[in-house]
Structure formats: C-alpha cells, structure tokens
A and B are shown apart, each in its own frame.
Chain A
Amino acid sequence: MAIISTAGLARTFRTGNGPVEAVRGIDLTVREGEILGFLGPNGAGKTTTLRMLTTLLRPTGGAATVAGHDLVGDPAGVRRAVGYVAQSGGVDPQVPVREELVTQGRLYRLTRDQAVRRAAELAEDLGLTGLLDRRTSTLSGGQRRRLDIALGLTHRPKVLFLDEPTTGLDPASRADLWDLVRRLRDEHGTTVFLTTHYLDEADALADRLVVVDGGVVVAEGTPGALKLRHGGSIDATLQETFLAITGRGPAPAGSAPVSV
C-alpha cells in the first residue's frame, strides 16, 4: 500500500539568472511503514522535493498524493498527516524547550492541557525531560536534533520527513538517532522519508533507496540490489555503487547545501 506516490513531480525556480530546474520530474512510491533513504549529491533536488511533499512549496509540474491526500488539492490534509524536520531545524534559540514543545502542540490545534501533556510525553520519549526549562540555544547538537524531531512528531504523523537529520552530529548522536528512527517505525509504524548524503547511514537505516541526481531519479532499490546492479557485486560498497550511478561522490567538496 503506497503512502506516498508522485508522478512527474517538478519544480522550477525563477531567479534573476533565469530559471533553475531544481526538480525535473520525480516518480516514486513509498510503502507504508517503510524507511526510505533519499540519496543524492548536493544540489540534486532533495530538499526541494521534501518541501513540495510537505506543502511548503508548490510544484510547477506533476502530481503527488501523501497519506491519501492530494498535494495541491488538499494541502491541509497533507499537513495533518506529515511531520517535517528541516535540515536547519526550526527552533528559536531564546525560547525554552518546554515552550517550543507546547507551542507546537497548539499549532497542531491541541488544547492547552493536551499540549502540555503531549510535551511531557515527547520529552520522555526523546530524552529531553531534564532539559525542558533550558533555552534551546543551550542544547548540544544531538539534543537539538532530538528536539527538532520531537516537534515533528507532535501530532503523531503517519509520515515523517527528515532532511539530513544527522549532518553535523557526532558518531554517538548519529547512532542514537538511527535507533530512534528504527523505533519510530517498529513501535508506531511511522513511514520515514529521510534524505542523506552519508552512504553508511543510507546503508544501515534505509529499507530502500531512491537515488536522485540533477532533479530526477537515477536509481532505486534496496541497498543490496543497488550494489549488485550498479556496483557489480553485493560486496561493493555503497560508495562505489553511488559513483557508478552518478559518476561522482555523494558530496562534492565546495558545494554547500542550500538551506531555505
């Protein structure tokens, strides 16, 4: 059962220097309860795709349904069903953790009491309980990330979109986050759609990979199948496989990701 399906999803930005075709036509389906790794070099169009699938950006072409709601026809339905954690997160450095969590609950239309209760629950689940009265600026990278994810989980979304969730985290925090993602899927059946340019992450975490480059899907399959097909053998590293698919490494130096 597909919880996300897109057909020719595209986005062209108009800029001062002419149009930028960030996403040229993405066709993909995601099954319910799947952890999908959305892989691609910087500038491949990963963030732009995520922003379209979460209603933040209107597609300039194609169509998609997310959790049974049409992206363009029923954005409100999509918003109720999905959580989104942007690469930059989205917390105010001056605001205490508790206030961010409660505000988020209220943005999702919980009553004050419900929002307070939900904040305590999320804090418990994500190991933030001792930090509730601290300003978000005082959190470590890993704690910040857990808070960002807690905000995205406030309304128990069916689908969680994570944009480069472990970029900048130390190895221990990355491992914690991987566990958290697996737990979300195993305990709540949450579908997780995550972008990354860490191949080990994709390999360890994702049930299936979709590789994008230049705004189109260039390969997809389980990590094992991709290695076999493109890397030459099941023992190929994902790095070799990725090189074979895109002709270059996943994160060419000097091209900073655009965060918007």
Chain B
Amino acid sequence: MLLHDTALVFGRYARQTLRSRFAVLLGLLMPLLHLLFFGPLLTGLPLGGRGSSWQILVPGLLLQLALFGAAFAGFMIIVEKNLGIVERMRVTPVSRLALLLGRVLRDTAVLVVQSVLLVVAALVMGLRAPIWGILAGFAFVALLALSLASLSYAAAMRVRTPQEFGPAVNALIMPSMLLSGLMLPMSLGPRWLDVLSHAVPFRYLVDAMRDAYVGAYATGSMLYGALVALGLAAVAVTVGTRVFVRAGA
C-alpha cells in the first residue's frame, strides 16, 4: 500500500511539474549563470585541487542547485494547506508517509533532471570528468535533495503562511551555502573558516563530490561524504515521517 500510495502521490506532483516545465528551466538559471559568468574566471586560478577548475566548480553548483531547490520545497505545501488540499488527502485512507515520500521523490527527480542538464551545459563549457564520478555526483544530489525536501515539508507543515517560511529558510541556507565551500574550496581560506565549515554537513558532500569528479573514489572524503549524506537522509526522512504521521494531532 505504501508503494501504491507513494506512486500515486508522486504521479500527482509529477504532473504538476510537467504543467510548469518553464519553472523547471527557470530553476536552472542561477547555476547556469554561475557556470557562464563565474566559471571562466576560475580557469587560470590556482585552486589547490586536482584537475581543472570545472571539476571543482561543477560539484559545488550541483549541490547549490539541490540546496536551494529542495530547501524551498515546503512552500508548495503551505499553499496546499491553505487550499484545503492537505486535509482533503489526509481524510482518505492514503498512507501518511506516502504523502511525504511522493512529494519528496518528485522534488528529487526534478533536481536530478536539472543536474543532468547542468552537467551537459558544463561539458560544453569545458568540463571533463570520469563518467562514474559524474554518476556518483548525481547520487549525492539525489540524497541531499531527498533530505532537505523532507525537512522542508516537515517545517512547512508547522507554518501558516509562506511569508514566515521564506525568510527562515533563507536565513538557514545562505550561511550553510557560504560555509560549506560550494563556490570555492574552503581549504583556500584561513584555518578558522576551514574548521568552522566542518560543522556544516554539506561540506562533506562537496568534498566527496570533488573527489568523485577527479576519479579519486577510495578516499577519506568519499567515505565521510557518503556517510554524512546517508545519515542526513535517514534523519531527515525520520523527522518528516514523524511530522506527517502526527500532523494536526
């Protein structure tokens, strides 16, 4: 039943996405602009990493895409709550967990598709990376999207208006993005910043993804990145499940 219901909810929201394909492309605008106008600035700079500057920038842009795309996912459910859609579904026997998972999987799918488009654009710009590294990168994007979308929906279920939600999410996401070294490797900065950034989970993901993009699969960073990504997903889905099962109660 969970599977049936999740597929059903996923289908409903996938159709919603297909109705607004333009918005999906618009979501790619920010990382594409970075790729076009920021990427070329890095090509001659000593970034301290292995491989080209594109192998450092693209993993960061992909995670940035997932970060912003998924963190604001909850917006939609606030609107739906106010339209009565959430209660209309909750009054049916549909699995409460499916109401979360169906939505989250839709967001994850959208972000993976957007990531593929971004990587294609990056290949045109000059990115060269091993195929397994690129695929591993998509897995990190998917796990991050799954985690943040779950947390976002859980938080949004407890908020009444989008106006309360947006600024709060921004206040959490902006510093996390800057501190995790998505744009430039943290190892370039002063030691205090590097140390501080290890308190942000995304830091481990971006380090791992940069290793993957240069084909270094058996590294400590890869191990930590995978563990943090999986741990984050487990915690986030658990929190989301609790909120969705108990909502209104």
Q: Which residue, B4, B12, B80, has most C-beta atoms of chain A within 10 A?
A: B12
- Would B19 and A91 count as touching, CB distance under 8 A? no
- Distance (whole angstroms) from the CB of A165 to the closest CB of chain B: 13
In whole angstroms, what is the CA distance A7 to B91 when docked?
22
Q: Which of B1, B4, B5, B85 contacts A91 (CB 8 A)?
A: B85
Q: Which residue, B85, B88, B89, has most C-beta atoms of chain A within 10 A?
A: B88
Q: With an 8 A cutoff between CB atoms, is A218 at the interface?
A: no
Q: CB-CB < 8 A to B248: which residues of A?
A: 51, 56-58
The chain A residue sitting closest to B4, CB to CB, is: A109
- Would B93 and A108 count as touching, CB distance under 8 A? yes
Q: Which of A55, A80, A86, A107 contacts B84 (CB 8 A)?
A: A86
Q: CB-CB < 8 A to B92: which residues of A?
A: 79, 104, 107-108, 155
- Would A92 and B82 count as touching, CB distance under 8 A? no
Q: CB-CB < 8 A to B1: which residues of A?
A: 109
In whole angstroms, what is the CA distance A94 to B20 when docked?
10
- Distance (whole angstroms) from the CB of A212 to the closest CB of chain B: 20
The contact size tier of chain B is 20 to 34
- Distance (whole angstroms) from the CB of B239 to the closest CB of chain A: 19
- Distance (whole angstroms) from the CB of B118 to the closest CB of chain A: 27
In whole angstroms, what is the CA distance A89 to B87 when docked?
9
In whole angstroms, what is the CA distance A92 to B81 when docked?
11
Q: Which of B4, B16, B80, B91 contacts A56 (CB 8 A)?
A: B91
Q: Which of B15, B88, B93, B249 contacts A86 (CB 8 A)?
A: B88
- Distance (whole angstroms) from the CB of A44 to the closest CB of chain B: 20
Q: CB-CB < 8 A to B8: which residues of A?
A: 103, 106-107
Q: With an 8 A cutoff between CB atoms, is A38 at the interface?
A: no
In whole angstroms, what is the CA distance A80 to B89 when docked?
13
Instruction: Say whether, besides A58-B248, A94-B16, A103-B8, A76 and B93 are in contact (CB < 8 Å).
Output: yes
Q: With an 8 A cutoff between CB atoms, is B230 at the interface?
A: no
Instruction: Say whether, besides A51-B248, A103-B8, A107-B94, A56 and B84 are in contact (CB < 8 Å).
Output: no
- Would B19 and A151 count as touching, CB distance under 8 A? no
Q: With an 8 A cutoff between CB atoms, is A32 at the interface?
A: no
User: Which residues in window 223-244 of B have CB below 8 A to A?
Assistant: none
A-B contact pairs, 19 of them (CB 8 A): A51-B87, A54-B91, A56-B91, A79-B92, A83-B91, A86-B84, A86-B87, A88-B84, A90-B84, A90-B89, A92-B83, A94-B16, A95-B15, A95-B16, A99-B15, A103-B8, A103-B12, A107-B94, A259-B82
B positions within 8 Å CB-CB of A? 1, 4-5, 8, 12, 15-16, 19, 80, 82-94, 248-249
A positions within 8 Å CB-CB of B? 51, 54-58, 76, 79-80, 82-84, 86-95, 99, 103-104, 106-109, 151, 155, 259-260
